[in-house]
Amino acid sequence: MTDLSRSALILVDIQNDFLPGGALAVPDGDGILEAVNALARHSFRAVIATQDWHPPRHCSFSTQGGRWPVHCVAGTHGADFPQTLLPEPVTHIIRKGVLQERDSYSGFLDNDRATSTGLDGLLKGLDIEHVVICGLALDYCVTATVLDAVQCGYRTEVVPQACRGIAPDPGDALKKLEKQGVLLKSLNTF
């Protein structure tokens, strides 16, 4: 059994609006929930969920000149975690994309690449050395979070079974991560 005492599980944007029926649904997004819940039951020091938490007129919305439909507006059902995601293991929530004029794909930094979400400080404060990352969408927010975790110096692993992307084939996104030294890990190796 793996020692997870200096490890954190990061659940990226597993929210109603990214699941089937949501405003910006990831195909088969709900297909990760069983794997995510199984991962979260392991003895990680922390289980951290990131959450898009946008103001009503956020810059990423197509109604404001952005590229995405209105999604994950702070305080709405779409921004909530699904009821099928076990809440008990989650120890911390990092909200991102909270400023009207700036988006944030990564759980670590806003898209301006200068404004921190607080995730790196939280991990360092918890004495975390190793992160396991999963969630939605693999080819956007998960990849951005993983690459920033590597940049911040964490030993970083991704569990493909617990990720879904917008693109039907996850191969390109996973190859990009492996080239950066990210380990792809199977659910049954924990």
Which residue numbers are catalytic? 13, 96, 141
3-class secondary structure, 93: strand
Residue closest to 97 by CA, chosen among 147, 59, 123, 150: 59
Q: Count CA within 13 A, CB hemisphere, residue 122.
A: 23
133, exposed or middle or buried, with CB in 10 Å at 0-12, 13-18, 19+? buried
Quick one: which H or E segment has residue 119?
helix 119-125
